[in-house]
Chain A
Amino acid sequence: MYGLGILKGFGVTALNAFRSPFTVEYPDRRVGLPGLARSAGINPLAFVLKRPKDALKAVLGLAKIPARSQQHSRFRGQDFTWYVERCTGCASCAKLCPLGIIKIVTDPSGRQTQEGEVYDIETFDIDLARCMACGICVEVCPYDALHMGSGFERARYGFPNLLITVDELKKAPKRPSTWFRPQLEERGYHPHKSGQADWRLVGRHERPTAGQLKRNWVDDRAK
């Protein structure tokens, strides 16, 4: 019979009315009274007595709470996590970035640094406006100083505001992604659930001391 296939299609569409929605609500999630009370941390009855206006809103389906996206711990975010304690200023990341957007300046103050010493990092700029989050800088970092971040909400007005400067990198909360960092994954680290990661725990090995660096780069080469 002509039209049977269309009716069958309508049946599939109608079936979806009885399924739970697939859509993830972001940045705000609509909740009922129990959900709102849970997010406030008290039981629903006390919530009604304490904040009757909000409770009425929740019953009417108007209450919203902020929602966090369910991202995997490996998610390559835009904000980089950088540990000044681990960085030696070797600039591997800057050399191997496919777009050349990392700028590193060490020791501008005129201090005569010898080869093999740990450099003071004056500039460590990452131009996020051109970054494509490929993660090669993180992959080649020999001392696990640079990690991908876990955030993705870095929208700014104007290109200059997208530049991550060294001060911002130093101050930013340390929530590294576990991308290309199996040692973090073995420990079950999750950037949003486990809290901030300390610089002593994020590396595959200890950071070389100044003496070791000098031995590797100066003394061994002189032989």
Chain B
Amino acid sequence: MSMRTEPVTVNIGPHHPSTHGVFRLRVTFDGEVIVDVEPVFGYLHRGTEKLAEERTYVQFVTLTDRMDYVASMTNNQGFVLAVEKLAGITPSPRGVWLRMIAAELQRIASHLVGMGFFLQDLGAFATPLMYAMRERERILDLFEMLCGARITNSYMRPGGVFMDAPEDFWPAVNRFLDEMPGYVDEYESLISGNEIVLSRTKGVARVELDALINASISGPMLRAAGLAWDLRKKHPYEFYDRVEFDVPLAQESDNWARYIVRIQEMRESVKIVRQCVQQIEPGPIRPKEVPFLVRPPAGEVYSSIEGPKGELGYYIVSDGSIAPYRCKVRAPSYINLTLLKDMLVGWRVADMIVTFGSIDINMGEVDR
């Protein structure tokens, strides 16, 4: 005997705790199966790109912190690299090494948050998140030593960084690097073998590689589908060609693969920071001739880096004045979110939130 059913449309969000910010999903269900998904965003829009047009280049560094607020350092780095490319500034080597150390520590912190909230969405309430926050706290302490702030760092400037690391930073970062692989092992033994997690995530929300490439997805989502696309390897910026590291890959392209790629990237980032600490040399952190008010020549530039969530690009148009004429941000969270419908249709309510968590988005960056 068959029963006649009608699809029901449900609003999830914008104030739903598992939507990682203010994000609304209009989902049509047939029973418990998802038939249609319509993402609605823009609730956190603050007009950062417009604000850039009336601020000088250094002043705008402080606003890039507010876009992806769990990865402020990489936001700073992307913008500063674009300004350097536009204005033809050669950065000081010590400043570049410090920027790389900060960016890789930030990548670990961002993946910790991504991992913790992914497992929280899965129903592992608070336990893995607390483990993740414990290590993130130590990274934020290191940032406090570097630049005095924990979340909104504004550490980088065109040409380098604004202040050298204090002397007590180096023993602290070495201690952290010695302990971090042990912590990652701890997460692995806590979660990675857990049968409930495996049965909830393996094979769920699988996407084909072609669909990912067509939607210009980048970052861990793409690497979880087996494509070794990492801008640190493909277009080395800063000194990434001087350090040795692997690009972790997974083939399955499901929720589990996206989780395990992030876990392994943390191990690689620890390796990178260790090599940076070994190779850093004394010297100035910023060339003396770079003024506070940078005046790039008229022109346009697109520069992108491998952020924790994907390709983070800045497109700046300059008219030769002290402020950008136009500044456009290619936010990885925003573009990774566009494939949500393809991932979700055919899966159930409980898988929806998990899949959403596995993309690891940040609404501050989606809406800007």
Binding site for B on A (CB under 8 A): 2-6, 8-9, 11-13, 22, 71-72, 74-76, 96, 98, 132-136, 139-140, 148, 177, 179-180, 182, 185
Contacts and interface: CB of A to CB of B under 8 A. Distances in A.
Given A22-B134, A72-B145, A136 B196 contact: no
Given A98-B62, A134-B62, A140 B163 contact: no
A12 B162 contact: no
Interface of B: 55-56, 58-60, 62-63, 127, 134, 137, 141, 144-149, 152, 154, 162-164, 166, 186, 189-196, 198, 292
Q: Which 9 A-B pairs have the closest CB atoms?
A: A5-B193, A76-B148, A134-B62, A98-B59, A74-B148, A179-B148, A12-B190, A5-B194, A9-B190
Contact of A75 (B55, B59, B144, B292): B144
B193 A8 contact: yes
A3 B166 contact: no
B186 A12 contact: yes
B144 A9 contact: no
A141 to B, nearest CB: 12
Nearest to B193: A5
B163 A13 contact: no
B144 A134 contact: no
Contacts of A71: 144
Contacts of B189: 8-9, 11-12
Contacts of A98: 55, 59-60, 62-63
B195 A136 contact: no
A136 B145 contact: no
B193 A134 contact: no
Nearest to A9: B190
Contact of A2 (B154, B192, B195): B195
Interface centre among A2, A6, A76 (most CB of B within 10 A): A76
Interface centre among A2, A3, A139 (most CB of B within 10 A): A139
5 contacts: A8-B190, A75-B148, A98-B59, A98-B63, A148-B148
A140 B157 CA distance: 13
A177 to B, nearest CB: 6
Contacts of A2: 195
Contacts of A12: 186, 189-190
Given A98-B55, A98-B59, A135 B148 contact: yes
B163 A182 contact: yes
B148 A96 contact: no
Given A5-B193, A13-B127, A75-B144, A133 B163 contact: no
Given A96-B59, A185-B166, A9 B148 contact: no
A191 B320 CA distance: 42
A144 to B, nearest CB: 14
Contacts of A9: 189-191, 193-194
Contact of A139 (B55, B145, B162): B162
A11 B193 CA distance: 12
Contact of A177 (B148, B190, B191, B292): B148
Contacts of B164: 182
A139 B62 CA distance: 13
A139 B196 CA distance: 52
A5 B55 contact: no
A74 to B, nearest CB: 4
B148 A4 contact: no
Contacts of B144: 71-72, 74-75
A174 B27 CA distance: 57
Contacts of A3: 195
A98 B292 CA distance: 13
Contacts of A75: 144, 148-149
A18 B90 CA distance: 52
A76 B162 CA distance: 14
A203 B11 CA distance: 58
A70 B192 CA distance: 34
Contacts of A135: 148, 154
Contacts of B192: 5
Nearest to A181: B163
B193 A132 contact: no
A9 B194 CA distance: 7
A133 B149 contact: yes
Contacts of B62: 98, 132, 134, 136
B292 A6 contact: no
A22 B186 CA distance: 16
Nearest to B137: A22
Contacts of A13: 127, 190
Contacts of B137: 22
A50 to B, nearest CB: 38
Given A6-B195, A75-B149, A179-B148, 16 more contacts: A2-B195, A5-B198, A8-B190, A9-B191, A9-B193, A71-B144, A72-B144, A72-B148, A74-B147, A96-B56, A96-B292, A98-B59, A132-B62, A134-B152, A134-B154, A148-B148
